[in-house]
């Protein structure tokens, strides 16, 4: 049986993953925050729209695992700054297809290559085999946890 004294935060995987995710998110956010004033949720919604539009807020929630309130607020902010517009739906705002405006598409087209370069740079010190192992490990952990 594992005892509380056996818990070493410096080796505890959930803690380390949280620290890593926060550090990566903070470093990446400098790119879109400085240039466009976007917060993390707005960036994540913009990225989803750039890749999958037209897409509903409900679908973004399902795909991103973001809370629906965060997605809703991010969509509202992106609408406010003119990056997003809604399609038509009489029933539910979460069911309205969202698309990027020309201004939003320009921002996405500017930021996406910078984000991709950030990700490439983050992995620079890993060999191709290590990158593949990391991808496989992430895929397997997600498969185990996200259902």
Judge whether residue 141 has pLDDT over 70. yes
Tens-place pLDDT, residues 8-17: 998 999 999 9
Question: Residue 14 belongs to a domain with what CATH number?
Answer: 1.10.10.10
What pLDDT is attached to residue 111? 97
Closest CA to 41 of 9, 64, 21: 64
What pLDDT is attached to residue 95? 81
Do the domain assignments include residue 130? yes
What pLDDT is attached to residue 91? 63
Judge whether residue 94 has pLDDT over 60. no
For residue 34 the two structure tokens come to 């400085």
Tens-place pLDDT, residues 51-93: 999 999 999 999 999 999 999 999 999 999 999 999 866 666 6
Q: Are 39 and 89 in contact (CB under 8 A)?
A: no
Do the domain assignments include residue 20? yes
Do the domain assignments include residue 37? yes
Do the domain assignments include residue 2? no
Determine the average pLDDT of the residues in 86-114. 87
Do the domain assignments include residue 120? yes
Tell me which DSSP letter residue 13 carries. H
Tens-place pLDDT, residues 19-55: 999 999 999 999 999 999 999 999 999 999 999 999 9
Please count the structural domains in the chain. 1
pTM of the entire structure? 0.86
What CA dihedral angle connects 62, 64, 67 and 71, to 10 degrees?
-100
Do the domain assignments include residue 3? no
Domain that holds residue 78: 8-145
What pLDDT is attached to residue 1? 66
Q: How far apart are CA 66 and CA 57, in angstroms?
A: 10
Neighbours of 111 (CB within 10 A): 21
């Amino acid at each position: 049986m594992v005892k509380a004294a056996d818990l070493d935060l410096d080796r505890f995987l959930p803690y380390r993953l949280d620290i890593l995710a926060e550090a990566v998110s903070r470093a990446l956010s400098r790119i879109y925050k400085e240039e466009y004033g976007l917060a993390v949720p707005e960036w994540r919604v913009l990225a989803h729209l750039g890749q999958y539009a037209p897409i509903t807020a409900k679908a973004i929630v399902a795909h991103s695992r973001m809370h629906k309130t965060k997605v809703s607020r991010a969509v509202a902010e992106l609408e406010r700054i003119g990056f997003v517009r809604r399609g038509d739906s009489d029933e539910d705002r979460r069911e309205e297809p969202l698309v990027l405006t020309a201004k939003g598409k320009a921002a996405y087209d500017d930021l996406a290559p910078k984000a991709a370069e950030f990700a490439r740079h983050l992995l620079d010190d890993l060999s191709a085999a290590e990158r593949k192992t990391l991808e496989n490990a992430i895929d397997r952990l997600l498969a185990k946890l996200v259902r």
